[in-house]
Amino acid sequence: MNYKTIVVHVAGDANAGARYAFAGELAQSEGAHLIGLASSDVARFLRETVATNSLAPSIAPFLDTLRQRSAQALDAFERVAAGFTLPGYERRAVDEEARFSLGMLARYGDLCVLSQADATEGASLPSPGLAAEVAKNSGVPVLLVPCAQAPAWPLRRILLGWNGSREAARAMRFALPLLRRAGAVDVAIFDVDALQSGGGPELRPVTAVGQALARHGVRADLVLRDDDGGDAGAALLALAAERGADLLVMGCYGHSRLRELLLGGATRTVLRSMTLPVLMAA
């Protein structure tokens, strides 16, 4: 498996340039086609106003402004993309909200690159739940770029969070192109007893993950830690810093699969506090 189509969120937020550059580096290394998708949010504006006629002259200036901002963001994306050696890149503009359009377009790709929400930008996109919502709705992994600092490239050391869940398994499979290229891979398991009891001793779940990766040409070191009952997301981020990881790979999940999927548990902590790129799958 390789990433042959990568979608990147195009918007006017302060972290946009770092996001485009990271997507460009990844697309260049994978030989992937890069698509920049911008949403003008015209559809949301029309839904939230009392206007009954979208063609009314009084509404037109507002719609033009929203679309001009979207076009300017796409211009910035193109300037960055042009600096990389890519099979191809393109810009696309839609009027629907990003949380809908990204989820739909990502279904036709292999990876979607977004940014961590920046609390200093208030209501500006990307929203805190955008990454989890895109991952859930598209079935495609999302790779989040942190807003605190420009991410390292290439990704030499990767930390994989493993608890035996469906989401973690999907994240591991989706991350294989990056795992194969990394110089070092660590697999973090925080509750060995729970993993063993869930899979049964016959399945050897602790060693099975390392063996599965090895068959894909990935040599991984298991990092076993006792579960102290704390926040798994905080523990993953602390271990990533301790091991000098350039990327964290994890399932996108919460304590409640339905009610808290988007921003629950470990997912919420990582989305809020991450300082390195994170690949998530739901």
**Low-confidence winner among 212-221, 235-244, 252-261 (lowest mean pLDDT):** 252-261
> Per residue in 49-105, pLDDT tens?
755 566 667 788 889 999 999 999 999 999 999 999 999 999 999 999 998 999 999
Residue 88 class from Cβ within 10 Å (0-12 exposed, 13-18 middle, 19+ buried)?
Answer: exposed
pLDDT reported for residue 260? 43
Say if residue 226 is in the same domain as residue 110: no
Say if residue 163 is in the same domain as residue 66: no
Say if residue 43 is in the same domain as residue 175: no
> Per residue in 123-145, pLDDT tens?
444 565 788 889 989 999 999 99
Range of the domain at 18: 5-145
Say if residue 131 is in the same domain as residue 222: no
DSSP three-state, residue 159: strand
Cis peptide upstream of residue 154 (ω within 30 degrees of 0): yes
Look at residues 112, 145, 178 and tell me which one is the last residue of a structural domain.
145
Would 96 be classed as within a structural domain? yes
Look at residues 118, 145, 172 and tell me which one is the last residue of a structural domain.
145
pLDDT reported for residue 219? 97
Would 121 be classed as within a structural domain? yes
Q: Say if residue 189's pLDDT is above 50.
A: yes
Would 152 be classed as within a structural domain? no
Q: Say if residue 269's pLDDT is above 50.
A: yes
Average pLDDT, the chain: 89
Say if residue 192 is in the same domain as residue 162: yes
pLDDT reported for residue 259? 38
> Per residue in 43-57, pLDDT tens?
888 887 755 566 667
Would 103 be classed as within a structural domain? yes
